[in-house]
Amino acid sequence: MNENESTPGDRAVEMYLGLLRVRMSEEDYARLLAVVHPVLQTIREQTERGVPAADFSLDGPGTQGLPQEIRDEAALVIATAVTGRLDNEVVVLDIEETGPVRVVTDAATASDPARLTEIADYIRQRHQDTVELCGIAEASGLPVDF
């Protein structure tokens, strides 16, 4: 990609990865890149096709055994790619129904208890919806592993 094809998100990601390269050990940085590179490629391809960014999970075979610090940094790199912003933060919400949930959000939202409560309520509702859908699927004889 040449300079004319890059987006502000690309430049922000390059800057953030540069900072991480200095801050992290070579081994940890390589592990981080192995996790984020495929996601960044997908984001780039979706952007080129005009498809909006989707939710990305860091729960896959490539993240098994990955320290939480590297997972958090990977989430921040991905958020930077999606938003083009460098002020993203990882916030841990304690949700009774699911246990702790890590959410990446902007700094203003991270410091706003009312917004964090709204996010936690949304997660609770999604969890409840999933439980209900699993019950319907099970009662219908359909797989419940979605």
Q: What is the largest CA-CA distance in the chain?
A: 55
Rounded Cα distance, 55 and 122, in Å: 15
For the chain, domain boundaries: 6-85, 87-146
Cα 146 to its chain centre, rounded Å, is: 19
- pTM of the predicted model as reported, rounded to 2 decimal places: 0.80
For residue range 9-41, what is the model confidence (pLDDT) as tens digits?
789 999 999 999 999 999 999 999 999 998 898
| Cβ(83)–Cβ(95) below 8 Å | no
For residue range 64-118, what is the model confidence (pLDDT) as tens digits?
789 999 999 999 999 999 889 999 999 999 999 899 999 999 999 999 999 999 9
Q: What is the 3-state secondary structure (H, E, C) of the chain?
A: CCHHHCCHHHHHHHHHHHHHHHHCCHHHHHHHHHHHHHHHHHHHHHHHHCCCCCCCCCCCHHHCCCCHHHHHHHHHHHHHHHHCCCCEEEEEEEECCCEEEEEEEEHHHHCCHHHHHHHHHHHHHHHHHHHHHHHHHHHCCCCCCC
Banded pLDDT at 63 (limits 50, 70, 90): confident
